[in-house]
Amino acid sequence: MISRRMFAKGAIKGALALASVPVFARAAAAPRPFFIDSDTASDDAVALILAFAEPGIDIVGIGTVAGNVPLDSATQTALYVRELCRSKAPIHVGADRPLTRDLETAQDVHGKDGMGDVGLPIGGRKPDSEDAVGALIEAARRHAGKLELVTLGPLTNIAVALRRAPEIVKQIKSCTVMGGVSDYVGNITPVSEFNIWVDPEAAEITLRSGLAIDMVGWDISRKYAVIDDNDAASLRAIGTERAKVAVDCQKVLRAFNERVSGLKGFDLPDPIAMAIALRPSIGTRRRQDHASVLGGEGPTRGMVMFDESPIGPKGAQIGVVEEASRDGFMAMMREALAR
């Protein structure tokens, strides 16, 4: 016969044993909800591959926006990559032009189809909705306090969403922005990066919104994410369809860099920004700074200007990634492309 005292001792012992088990061992952690906004071309495609492959991530929505390529091309490429990665993440069509400007694309950098013009079967797929802005607002409300936003293109959709529903600022946990440069060395003007340059007005609205922004500039790609020919051959040799597509679609970018940028290979700004969003430790050094976006025309259009003055600094306070782990990024690339 078991006495009440014996039963109580056993219950206490069991409770103590359970308490000693880490929480993650008792129940799987809830996946992190992500919303991705993308002007999908060759580097964005690789960023999406990384996101689709990452354990513990729930991509609750992808919005497309005009930037690298016109809107329909960006949407069709996102749909193609989703199919390639056997994902069911919903894809929503967004803005087909900047807030107040004409669209200027980067098809000379990524190819007419945005994917290196190597004959990939892009086209003929149907998005889940025509309302990327509404999808983002709904996701922010549904996952209030938990949603992680990653932007890979011009910030047009984000600015429209903030204007329509400013309360989402408090509902979005974090926003990783691939845009700008922290060292003032640009890729579209001497001091400006393409994503911000395309729609500087949207970028200024987004930075000043109060979102918890982590900016990953083109300088991080230039320093830590250049894939030379040996790297490219090694990645392609992984042998999966994802690996072949990820390398082959950089054909036009590779030639552009050789001819114009002077980089030895192709660089991957969107993938390294995505890698840092997915695994924050890959961003090894950050600073807090005050930032403003310049509008107008000329060489300073789209420049992200930092104000480090100790006396009344102007601009929005954001996080700026200054250094990253190339080894961590390359390891993540290999993991994703091997799936």
CA–centroid distance for 122 within its chain: 21
Query: Which CATH number belongs to the domain containing residue 267 in this structure?
Result: 3.90.245.10
Residue of 37, 39, 44, 214 with catalytic role? 39
Tokens read off for 153 = 């293109």
Sequence-separated (6 or more) residues with CB below 8 Å from residue 285: 321, 322, 323
Q: Would 248 be classed as within a structural domain?
A: yes
Using only C-alpha atoms, the chain has a radius of gyration, in whole angstroms, of: 22
Give the pLDDT of residue 5: 42
Answer yes or no: is pLDDT of 2 > 80: no
Q: Would 42 be classed as within a structural domain?
A: yes
Q: Would 326 be classed as within a structural domain?
A: yes
Q: Would 18 be classed as within a structural domain?
A: no
Q: Would 139 be classed as within a structural domain?
A: yes
Q: Would 7 be classed as within a structural domain?
A: no
**Mean pLDDT (whole number) for 291-304:** 96
Q: Would 4 be classed as within a structural domain?
A: no
Q: How much is the mean pLDDT over the chain?
A: 93
**Mean pLDDT (whole number) for 215-229:** 98
Give the pLDDT of residue 48: 98
Answer yes or no: is pLDDT of 179 > 90: yes
Percent of the chain with pLDDT strictly greater than 70: 91
- Is 128 among the residues known to form the active site? no
Give the pLDDT of residue 1: 41
The larger pLDDT score, comparing residue 262 to residue 314, is at: 262
DSSP string across 66-116: SSSS-HHHHHHHHHHHHHHTT----EEE--SS-SSS-----HHHH-TTSST
Q: Would 273 be classed as within a structural domain?
A: yes
Give the pLDDT of residue 332: 98
88-126 residue pLDDT tens: 999 999 999 999 999 999 999 999 999 999 999 999 999
Give the pLDDT of residue 72: 98
Please answer whether residues 273 and 178 qualify as being in contact, where contact means their C-beta atoms are separated by less than 8 angstroms. yes
Structural domain boundaries, residue 225? 29-337
Count of domains for the chain: 1
